[in-house]
Structure formats: structure tokens, C-alpha cells
Amino acid sequence: MQRKCPSITSKGEPCRGYVHPGKEYCPAHDPSRADARRRAASVAGRSRSGGEIHEVKAKLRKLADDVLAKKVDKGTGSVVSQILGVLLKAIEVELRERETTLKEREFTEIKLPEFSQLQAEVAELREFLDQQSSNERSRNSWAR
Ligand SMILES: [Zn+2]
């Protein structure tokens, strides 16, 4: 007999998640998996790059002002803006990489258990259907 997950969903209904044998909760509510969920969420929330981009933007704006005010000559301005452009590109690459890492982590820590849960459910269903059809077959052979 399959255990029922004792959690209540956000809709206020009892959770109908699949509870693996020997477990108390479904994977979505398993307290031992809460850490993995929190870690993935906190990586998503971290955005150091956001601050860096802001900083580079501010520098570029100041540089433009300084060039216009002739505090910085055009040559220097051009070189500095190029460097800042490269820096922006590097931040962008870093952001993309982080996004990829996050997705991979989310996949292994959150999606994968859900996936194996789904596989277990499918296997159960297939077993049930096999049983049904073999019952049917034997019934049919008796009828003959
Ligand atoms: Zn649950």
C-alpha cells in the first residue's frame, strides 16, 4: 500500500505526490531534500554581476561626460571605453555560465528526482496494464 504524502499543497488540498517506499513524504515535500531546493533557489537569487554591470555603466557614463567636458582626451576615452566594453562582455559570459550551472543543478537536484518519480509511476502503471491485459487474455481463452 502506497503511503500518502502528509503535506498540504498551496491550494490547501492534501498532497497527492508519489511517496517512495520507505519515505514519509513525496520528493517535493521531503525535508531531507529541502536543502537542495534552497541551494538552487539561493544560487538563482545571487546577482553580483548585476552590481558589476551597474558599475560599468556608471563608469561609461562618467567617461562620456569627462570626454565631452574635455577632462579626458578622446584617445584615452576611446581606449577606456573599449576596456569597459570587454569587461561588460566578460560579465555577460559569466552570467550565461551561471545560468547554465544553475540549470544543471536544478536538473540534478530537483528535476531528476521528479523524473525518476515519474518513471516509477509509469512503471507501476505499465505493470498494472500488463496485468489487466493478461487477465483479459486468460478470460478470453476461458471463454473459448
Ligand atoms: Zn507532497
**Chain segment 99-141, per-residue pLDDT in tens:** 888 888 877 777 777 777 777 777 787 887 777 777 766 766 6
Q: What's the pTM value of the predicted model, to 2 decimals?
A: 0.41
SS3 72: coil
Residue 4 Cα to ligand 1 middle (Å): 8
Which cell is 3 given?
A: 503511503
Which cell is 137 given?
A: 487474455
In the chain, how many H helices and how many E strands? 4, 0
Residue 14 Cα to ligand 1 middle (Å): 8
Residue 132 Cα to ligand 1 middle (Å): 29
Contact in structure between 17 and 113 (CB atoms under 8 Å): no
Q: What is the percentage of the chain residues whose pLDDT exceeds 90?
A: 1
Burial 123-144 (b: 16+ CB within 10 A, else e): eeeeeeeeeeeeeeeeeeeeee
User: CB-based contacts of 16: which residues, under 8 Å, 6+ apart?
Assistant: 4, 5
- Report phi then psi at 3, rounded to 5: -75, 155
